[in-house]
Chain A
């Protein structure tokens, strides 16, 4: 086991690493999830522990179903996902609240206030309320580990799935964690038939609905004395109620104030809240995103301040708090200076770049999806026109086509990655075939889940643990659904890809183009010896900038003044020339055909000049 640590060791863990350790200490046996920032590292770390089955599921709904099944068999089980993933898993979640569990079941939802790497900002505490399940909310890595263990005890004691919510500043913040003892479930492993509990046909479900209410009542009582709902009394002129990472911002900004910290975000300890409120002069609720605690406190008839002072979107920090509450800006800051932006970009050698360059020439509407390739929406490729959620590209394109009718033939394409297609793209494609569409779907198969850091997926043929498995053949799959026209192309070859693209989007029938080439960052791609590094023959470069339009990070524009141009043997009017950074070039060869003047060549084809 790579993760051999001794009890009592103090280690520096991110919240996600701490959750993996917590799952290990809690005796989790089965864990499933779908990668998504900021949740990904939980399973990646957990997979390095021995004796725990871990897997990437094709999507979060499946992940939760797998975990629920494991729980039915008496094992402690974990499902992990980012906030938007819980939308996908919401279906089994709401009913799992009815069935309850056998072995403890915890679902980690990692929210992303500020949208560092997400398409929306949603507050998943609302799911706890809506699905009627308890939720714990740690504020740092130390608590993340402890709270996960507590969550399993609660799950088994109250016969309920438990949600554990982190946010980016818990998931990715490193802090000191002490390695603890391991424990195990009190449930016995084995198959036990309990149809009244596990088969949610209406007659059973109605009974369980009653159970659910009773359970919530017991949980509310539990919340009153739950030690992680705790008051730290200090100066009583100002009292705060807070949870999660917001607690740390409160402590930083107002160390002298009294604080009620809710370790359990739902349900609420009403008596504790009333007691606290009664003893402080001014009550302020500090929470990121929605007024979740605030609305409840107000519903109790307690007057307090919250969102009228504190922003309801984005992350908080101690500076924002102090400013919102006292009105004072801490000090005069250096003003920001206007400098060039540094947006993220598709990597040098990325196979997606070629295909988007080819698509951009067709001037079609590009219904996009979630993955590295979403970056193609940015300049200079500017070739994505919509992006909603995982798997939405195909349905979006198809919907547009149905709205516009024959008019739209040849004017719309859907693009989707291999992992995203496996996640939830396939059902969209089934709809296209079944309902007689003519959509053109481009599956960008880079053999991995690139954006989140190269997790394998069902089409990769490798499991999370690194074992070989029967990888799904995307081409055969599409044909099996009933797509008659499936073509696989090499995206690095713009010309060929462009030709096929043109032909397929004009086709009045469903078609799929699979662009297949490995992600440039895969270890085998980075290590390959035969990289065909390219260079610019400066004398041939006319400064037309054609090669810059694909936005490869290895290609740079060197501006020239008229004098410099003259000195370098160019026309005085030439404003610059391009240059390929040999250290960055990945040798994909996409740029060479773009230059009409033959200024870009493979370095080793350049008459022995190999130094670039």
Chain B
């Protein structure tokens, strides 16, 4: 029998290796379901899941909705554009009003870090973080880890380079905590203006030179360059970023044999990644999307069980 230590998934910081492994092992079962003729299970029948998306999202929202539907949960999807938020309703009131309609689980994305934790304080539902500000995006990191583990059979001992906006990327942050918990060696690479203060506290190798970072790496996970960072003056031009930090075929020669290219999407082709790399044999970018659904099914299943007691995860 199994149980996660927490009844919420707010991030991967502080989550034990055992809990992460349990999620990845459970994902393996759900991945098989996605290859069946009928991709549907009755497991969450009778439970209602609220998808609370205060930020634009395509991949994550659709992935969660499909995962919920494939587990036979009832789903309610909320977008701010058509809700009472436009009339000035607070997040707390919105959630408590929806919860009064008997919601069991909440999947939340919000531009403010800490929103998922706040929801745990004003709701009895299980809360899953689908991305909060620059804090964490745990299911994205879990699907990245599952994709790597599926290919190599392990995470421990692999060298994974996370390239991009380390300062603002919630995907990088969740990847750091998860990969390190399972024994991978993590390197961070980006312009110094996009590295957070005290970046050393993450316990990773830090690089401002992409070529140095790629030497001897097994996996490169490339983050989307958010163009609004240029407007904020954090790098001079897109072209300069591409020249210094764009992943091209030429640069791949520095990687270990049997290397893997990853990207959480959406991609800026020709900016942080060239098309020939994105579509190359070593790219697992579309596998990540498929595996993402299995990861989300696993998380929904594990959190839907009897009450777990313990620290917030």
Q: Do A and B bind each other?
A: no
Instruction: Mark A residues whose CB is within 8 Å of B.
Output: none
